[in-house]
Structure 1
Amino acid sequence: MAQADGHSLVSADLERRSVLGEYGLLPRDPASAEDDIASASATAARALNFLVDLAAKLCGVPFSVVNIIAPGQQVQLAAAGLEPGLCAREDSMCAMVFQHGGTTVVPDASADPRFADSPFVTGEIANVRFYASSPLQTSSGFALGSLCVFSDAPATISEEQTAMLDVLAAQVVEVLELQHRTLQLQHALEELGRSNRKLAEFAGRVSHDLRIPLTTILGYVELSEDDDDIRPDSPAAGYLQRIGGSGRRMLALLDDVLSYSQVGGMLRPRPVSLQRAVAEAVSDLGDGFGAGASLECEDAEVVADPAQLRTLLQNLLGNASNYRRPGQSLKVRVDAVADDRGVVVRVADNGKGVGAADRERVLEPLVRLHRPGDAPGSGLGLATCVRIVHSHGGELSLAETPGGGTTVSALFPKGGRDQSA
């Protein structure tokens, strides 16, 4: 029976350690009470200090503490009237009652058999007489600890004050729940970062492994197309043409997938000339931008990673060329507008445009509209642009250009995000 009880205690301690760890409430440095809010934000710490101060004032006592009961110790997260600290769990007054449910009110702890021998009552640690505590219970029923008020003289509190202590305890739990959700979000973002890095590594390996045999196949296709024994009007020539076309499309898709997976990995934002970035993007596109196209660009300073801004402009200008309106010369205008948020880069064309119902959908990876006359593509161009802007902390949206066409607006916030460290 004793062995079973021992297993139960170990299991309960493991569960408590796990839950408190999820809330960021396990102390990292037992020698420093200030480190006991393991991952609490400054906002959470301020809120807890405000609540303990309010609890002491409402109950008319000099001291109030938020106590977290951890395996083996009591951690004071915030305190009014004294400095927060640590003590052994076996010495804690709150540890005796925090899991029993309901508020505990003790007019004179020295006359209460539960607390009379506590070092907080006997004078070994303190001389507590009046003591009241309300459990810090989560929505799942797990008791994290308690909000307690106390003094070194016998006293009592009214039913109304007891009710207010319970309300304040509930507010403490809300603050800790907010911290819990913040930690969960941080962990999710860290996991997403790890996943994205693995995706980039995987895409790089796959791209490399597939590119070698694919370029070999295309090389043999080109040699075969130059073979005098294969007549241009023969079925074999048609087969080679199809193989070559499919292979080149697959090679382009590999490049798009690799580019998409690598976006946002290491940002080094700095002031960039928009006019210069556009000129470099047009140079990269070469014939891909299209002969006879009209391009206007106003210069502006954009704080962004130069290589990724160039990739974004390259994709948007390439899309403008690929989805031009039949029978009409392509016109593209690039400008930037500064506002309180940062700089909005706008690329407006007079092409086919994107219907309002499809504007959100085409921003997703691998989504294409498949309209008659559309150029071939992987459906990753706009999705790559979205990732570039999001990695800078901004937003990307589509709208209709006055007179027809598409205007892409990309917000680059002030300051940008430097991830080079």
Structure 2
Amino acid sequence: MITPNFPVDEEQRLAAVRSYSLLDTLPEKDFDNITALTANICDVPISLVTLLDADRNFLKSHYGLNFNESPRDLSFCGHAILDESNIFIVEDARNDPRFQDNPLVTEMNAIFYAGVRLVNSEGYPLGTLCVFDTKPRMLSKSQKKALISMAYQVVNLFEARKRNRTLLAVQQELKEKNEELKNFAGIVSHDMKMPLANMIITSDILRSKYGQHLDKQGQDYLEYIKQSSFTLSEYITGLLEHYESDKTASLNNEVFDSNDLFEEIIELLNINIDCEINLPETNLEMQANRAALEQIVLNLVGNSLKYNDKPRIRIDIECFEKDGSYHFLISDNGMGIAKNKLSQIFDLFTTTGNLDRNGKKGNGIGLSTVKKLVTKLGGEIEVSSKIGKGTTFQFSIKKK
């Protein structure tokens, strides 16, 4: 018997083998299907997918055997990975000096062997797809071709599992980073709201107590401080709602009337401008996440009020049930959204660039939060718009 040599790049090869995290793993159906099919095609009793470790031959899949590893210095695969031909064949190991006294031959009657190296994308042979028989034999041309093709599929499985593990690791890291960001945003936002409220109150106190001593420019500075504080406070509130939308979407479902919800939202908006809001003719009894739906509609109707340059604002709300979902349409006669902006308006921090009826610019958080909530509630949202004519938001949520 001749013990197989080690490849010249054995250290790098072993690192490649271990990078797939397949050593000492449990059997998997995908690999077992390949060895069973390979044995059938080659008409042999044994077929293996092997990974050659430092001192052992690990059998990732073993058809026809009841063990999952063997010493490397006894393995046929140790010789096979050194052979750069398409397929390594030993027709009768009893007549081959490399294997004559090998216990696999003398005790387990491993007479015939054919193995194809499993070479990864970096060129390292990780192990083999191989077959054994207990008698001398030859493989036909089609059997050799099939064995080579099946080895190629084994390598594809190796690579796919490695990519999946990498993606899962990246996904987990992103999830953890996102959670850290949410916690950070929540802490910072809460900590900033009180100083901003103090700035707003202080600017009012300064105007009330010392306003008579200030010229118009001084008065304008105070107003600028107050309005800037309001803008930043709205921005922070939007951020908190966005990062807490997961919690909102996970709240329990309730049974409620649709028009009761809409009327409550209109009250919350405290509208003090000329506005006509038309509610649906049919009042639905709904079973859904009321808090999340309220936040969605409140945001959309609020936008219809803010981004409207007409003397009289008109908002039409429609609601109906279909195919296990509640469907909503909220239309207005507002400024409209440019066609090239429609595909981006649900992206976080993306704005249309329009100033609202009070001359303020949006922060690009509200519609992103709406999209996030709609998706969490199992629905979809779309928008259509014409500049100067108005905008329609159409969305759905699953009935629970």
TM-score, normalisation: structure 2: 0.81
How far 1:405 sits from its partner (Å)?
Answer: 2.4
Residue in 2 that maps onto 1:48: 31
Residue in 1 that maps onto 2:226: 244
Residue in 2 that maps onto 1:419: none
Residue in 2 that maps onto 1:41: none
For 2:331, the aligned partner's letter is D
Q: 5+ unaligned residues in a row in structure 1: which ranges? A: 28-34, 38-44, 416-421
Q: Could you tell me how far apart the structure 2 residues matched to 1:280 and 1:78 are?
A: 65
Q: Deviations over 1:369-395 (max 9, x none)?
A: 123655632111111223334456765
How far 1:228 sits from its partner (Å)?
Answer: 5.8
Q: Could you tell me how far apart the structure 1 residues matched to 2:174 and 2:272 are?
A: 35
1:173 aligns with 2:172: no
**Structure 1 range deviating more: 99-108 or 250-259:** 99-108
Q: 126, 131, 135: which is aligned to 1:144?
A: 126
The secondary structure found in structure 1 opposite 2:246 is coil
Q: Could you tell me how far apart the structure 1 residues matched to 2:287 and 2:322 are?
A: 10
Aligned counterparts, 1:227-242, within 5 A: 227=209, 229-230=211-212, 234-242=216-224
Q: Could you tell me how far apart the structure 2 residues matched to 1:258 and 1:199 are?
A: 12
Q: Could you tell me how far apart the structure 2 residues matched to 1:281 and 1:188 are?
A: 43
Residue in 1 that maps onto 2:199: 217
Aligned counterparts, 1:98-113, within 5 A: 98=81, 100-101=83-84, 102-113=86-97
Q: Could you tell me how far apart the structure 2 residues matched to 1:395 and 1:91 are?
A: 61
1:331 aligns with 2:316: yes
User: Structure 1's 9 and 210: CA in aligned 2 closer, same or farther, altered over 3 A?
Assistant: same
Q: Could you tell me how far apart the structure 2 residues matched to 1:119 and 1:231 are?
A: 105
CA contact (8 A) 2:385 2:392 kept: yes
Residue in 1 that maps onto 2:182: 200
CA contact (8 A) 1:72 1:89 kept: yes
1:378 aligns with 2:363: yes
Q: 5+ unaligned residues in a row in structure 2: which ranges? A: 1-5
User: Structure 1's 82 and 309: CA in aligned 2 closer, same or farther, altered over 3 A?
Assistant: farther
Q: 286, 308, 311: which is aligned to 2:269?
A: 286
**Structure 1 range deviating more: 357-366 or 310-319:** 310-319
RMSD: 3.5
Between Structure 1 and Structure 2, whose CA radius of gyration is higher?
A: 2
Q: Could you tell me how far apart the structure 1 residues matched to 2:67 and 2:75 are?
A: 14
1:26 aligns with 2:23: yes
How far 1:217 sits from its partner (Å)?
Answer: 1.8
For 1:94, the aligned partner's letter is C
Q: Deviations over 1:208-232 (max 9, x none)?
A: 3433332222221121122265379
The secondary structure found in structure 1 opposite 2:59 is strand
* Number of equivalences: 384
User: Structure 1's 396 and 143: CA in aligned 2 closer, same or farther, altered over 3 A?
Assistant: farther
Q: Could you tell me how far apart the structure 1 residues matched to 2:51 and 2:294 are?
A: 52
Q: Could you tell me how far apart the structure 2 residues matched to 1:83 and 1:251 are?
A: 69
User: Structure 1's 322 and 54: CA in aligned 2 closer, same or farther, altered over 3 A?
Assistant: same
Residue in 2 that maps onto 1:320: 304
1:36 aligns with 2:14: no
1:406 aligns with 2:392: yes
How far 1:132 sits from its partner (Å)?
Answer: 0.9
Aligned counterparts, 1:113-192, within 5 A: 113-123=97-107, 126-192=108-174
How far 1:85 sits from its partner (Å)?
Answer: 2.0
User: Structure 1's 254 and 75: CA in aligned 2 closer, same or farther, altered over 3 A?
Assistant: same
**Structure 1 range deviating more: 110-119 or 250-259:** 110-119
CA contact (8 A) 1:289 1:318 kept: no
Q: Could you tell me how far apart the structure 2 residues matched to 1:188 and 1:392 are?
A: 26
